[in-house]
Amino acid sequence: MKYIIKPLILSIILIVSVSFTFYYTLIKAHSSVDVPAIEGISGYNLSSPEIQVELPEILHEISGLTDIDDHTIACVQDEEGLVFIYDLRKNEIKHQFAFGQPGDYEGITRVGRMLYILRSDGKLFEVNNYESKEVRVNEYDTEIPVKNNEGLAYDSINNRLLIAGKSEPNGDEEKDRRTVFGFDLVTKTISEKPVYVFSLAKINRFLADSNQSQTKKAKTPKIRINPSAIAVHPTSGNLYVLSSKDHLMFIFDPNGSIKTVHALDKEIFNQAEGITFLKNGDMLISNEGKKDKPTLLRFNYEKA
């Protein structure tokens, strides 16, 4: 009898184990993000940052960053009109300076020896001689037709700034799209029309055509795009767009066509509000503190 019971017990254990594994996999696939199993980002391992450091508490609300050189970045946070110069080697703030009154500052980018800071209402602050003790600041009311702007990047090919809206343009009848306007650095004027349009319908179509949908039962993949930060890749010219609220990263080619979408791990990217690239292609992403500590992530670039 005991010889019959032994195989029976082993069979039961095997069935339970397989059932649990299947159940766990099913739950894991549907519990975190309603996003398909989307392909990875070429050149970067987003599941394993090379460096992950906690930022000082004064950067708890860090909302944007930009490269200065290969070991220095400049940061802003969305409450104070301050720029923080941060040393990547020592992991500390070297110095800080004021450029404006307290406000909702969401993005920063460097153009040569000048820094540009974006306020959420679309106003731009141009900081000259940021390395000197006395900086000069020029302000530009862009009158961009978007209420909530968070993404700012430098497009060196076209000598313009890119401003990405988190909300749709005023009076826009198409709800599921986001726009990027260009700010000409010669004329200091905003483009009349968007230079990029991110259409959720086109992105969904791309995902369906690429067989990247998580489930065939869903008529439309449950994704959203609410740009919290943007940056132009130094070698490919591709536009990287973070959507912090949705834990997604979108990549568009220089013409604005979607190339890929990547679901971000909430444990690593708890609130990704800033992105920039170093000259060698290394990618830096900052997380606001939210309920945790603010963090800075570095992903080394590996050319294909």
pLDDT averaged over 10-residue windows placed end to end, the chain, 304 residues:
44 41 33 43 91 96 97 96 97 96 97 97 95 92 94 98 86 75 98 94 87 46 84 97 95 95 94 97 96 94 83
**Does residue 56 share a domain with residue 18?**
no
> Token match 């439309």: residue?
220
Q: Are strands 272-277 and 283-287 parallel, antiparallel or unpaired?
A: antiparallel
- The answer to whether the beta carbons of residues 44 and 285 sit under 8 Å apart is no
Domain assignment present for residue 304? The answer is no
Domain assignment present for residue 215? The answer is yes
**Does residue 17 share a domain with residue 116?**
no
Domain assignment present for residue 74? The answer is yes
Which CATH number goes with the domain that contains 51? 2.110.10.10
- What three-state secondary structure class fits 13? helix
For 21, the domain range is 1-31
pLDDT for the residue numbered 218: 40
**Does residue 88 share a domain with residue 7?**
no
**Does residue 94 share a domain with residue 12?**
no
**Does residue 58 share a domain with residue 8?**
no
Domain assignment present for residue 148? The answer is yes
Neighbours of 71 (CB within 10 A): 12
**Does residue 114 share a domain with residue 15?**
no
**Does residue 24 share a domain with residue 43?**
no
How many structural domains is the chain composed of? Answer: 2
pLDDT for the residue numbered 132: 86
**Does residue 290 share a domain with residue 150?**
yes
Domain assignment present for residue 247? The answer is yes
Domain assignment present for residue 229? The answer is yes
Domain assignment present for residue 78? The answer is yes
Short-list 92, 89, 13, CA closest to 59: 92
Which residues pair with residue 177 across a beta bridge?
199
pTM of whole model > 0.95? Answer: no
CA dist., res. 110 & res. 82, Å (int): 15
H or E stretch at 240: strand 239-243
**Does residue 124 share a domain with residue 2?**
no
**Does residue 192 share a domain with residue 179?**
yes
**Does residue 4 share a domain with residue 131?**
no
**Does residue 70 share a domain with residue 9?**
no
Domain assignment present for residue 262? The answer is yes
